[in-house]
Amino acid sequence: MSKREVYVIGYGITKFGEHYELNPSFSASQALSKAIQDAKISKDLIQSLYFGSLVSNRNGQSYIGGEASRECNLNIPITKIDVGNASGAGAFHQAFLAIKSGLDCIAVLGTEKLSDFVNSSTLEKILGGTIDYQWEFEQGATLTSLYAWMTQAHMKEFNTTMEQLASVPVKNHKNGVNNPIAQFRREISLKRFLDAKRISDPIGRFDPATHCDGSAAVVIASKEFVESHTEIERKVKVVGSAQSSDKIALHHRENLSSLLATQIASKKAYEMAQISSKDISIAEVHDSYPIGEILAIEDLGFFQKGDGGGATIDGKTQLNSDISVNTSGGLKARGDPFGATGIAQIIEIVQQMRKEADERQVDDIKYGLTQNVMGTGASVLVNILSNMEDDK
């Protein structure tokens, strides 16, 4: 990999939630123009736009990135990156590689408009495309039911309890209270999670992250670009970016209690950053279901395999603890507009490093990590950002 250094120089994000009044391209262009303004550079310096979205082709316009760039008056290459519901991080990873390959300044946009799907069956079918469509989805499985099996497998192998699982969304809702763009800014009690009806046992009604509307964008640039443009005030270095995949169907995997793609992608990202999991202070991980965060904090190496549930209920992942996980509220409290989520995770780390996170600010951050998952782990992206002045 080339030695060119990559920086996030600006971000823009919209309020996540149900925005029936907003046209899909409105929120996308809002996030994009905010990101360009935040970078303080002239928009004409942006050489390319990568955008990630899972369903933007299902509500008519397949090329939302194109609409947003028209509204921002840009005549640059626009490319949609598809990594299912991890398309945001997928677009970011491709933009990172493009800077490494010689480009100097790129905008990355993640956007989704899910409140148009008032019939939840339509969205379930779209999500069926992120698992094995023919041999899982058409056989009757859904994303939720497959996560239920993964939860069962972890509970059986490591004695993970329902209380430990519920402590994941309890913590994330607590963090989400202080995130102005989060869909749900209120706490939910452990009891409420435990007492909720089981939709796909052991997954309860309040466990899944909600599918909502939202857009997030960042502008990234090379070190040379940053040095030659003094108008850029703030920059956060991207020291690692990696993607890995695994068998799409759970029936083809050896075990269901870990995500191999997370393990491989994080190993690659740590190697690129020349750090270990111990160096990470904050992490934004894919908690679309409670087990998702437990698998993540184990497979990323923050805790021993099997200790994720215990660590969470003991508060080891809460704000300003050993490692602060999902300070934004995670997918659970922030809401999950698929393509926007991967970028929103990166923005949370950038905000934390720029000390703009107000009540949810974590002290003394060295490295921050994001993990974005496609389907049940068929593809995983890991990005590492650094706050260190002088990096290795």
199 vs 144, 165, 177, 195, 196, CA distance in Å?
A: 9, 15, 26, 12, 9
Q: How far is the CB of 198 from other proteins (least distance, A)?
A: 8
Q: Which residue's CB is nearer to other proteins, number 138 or number 358?
A: 138
**CB of residue 125 vs other proteins: minimum separation in angstroms?**
4
Smallest separation (angstroms) from other proteins to the CB of 286:
20
Q: How far is the CB of 197 from other proteins (least distance, A)?
A: 10
Whole-number minimum distance, CB 202 to other proteins, in Å?
A: 8
Measured CA to CA, the distance from residue 31 to residue 43 in angstroms comes to: 14
DSSP 325: E
Our CB check for other proteins shows the closer of 8 and 150 to be 150
Rank residues 121 and 230 by Cβ distance to other proteins and give the closer one. 121
With respect to other proteins, which residue has the nearer C-beta, 58 or 185? 58
Q: What distance in Å separates the CA atoms of residue 18 and residue 36, rounded to the nearest whole number?
A: 25
Residue number with CB closer to other proteins (120 or 230): 120
Q: Which amino acid type is present at position 122?
A: T
- How near is the Cβ of 378 to other proteins at its closest, in Å? 14
Residues that bind other proteins in the complex, under the rule CB under 8 A? 119-122, 124-125, 128, 132, 134-142, 144-145, 148-149, 152-153, 198-201, 203, 249-252, 256
Evaluated on CA atoms 372, 344, 141, 292, the torsion sign reads: positive
Name residues whose C-beta falls within 8 Å of residue 207's C-beta, 6 or more positions apart in sequence: 165, 166, 169, 193, 196, 199, 289, 290
Strands (E), 236-312: 236-245, 280-284
Residue among 92 and 149 whose Cβ is closer to other proteins: 149
Instruction: Give the residue carrying structure tokens 């999991």.
Output: 277
Rank residues 67 and 136 by Cβ distance to other proteins and give the closer one. Answer: 136
Specify which residues 283 forms β-bridges with.
Answer: 325, 369
Q: Which of 388, 110, 376, 85 is nearest to 245 (CA)?
A: 376
CB of 121 to other proteins, least distance (A): 5
The Cα 352–Cα 329 span in angstroms is: 13
Nearest to 222 by CA among 240, 242, 238, 241: 238
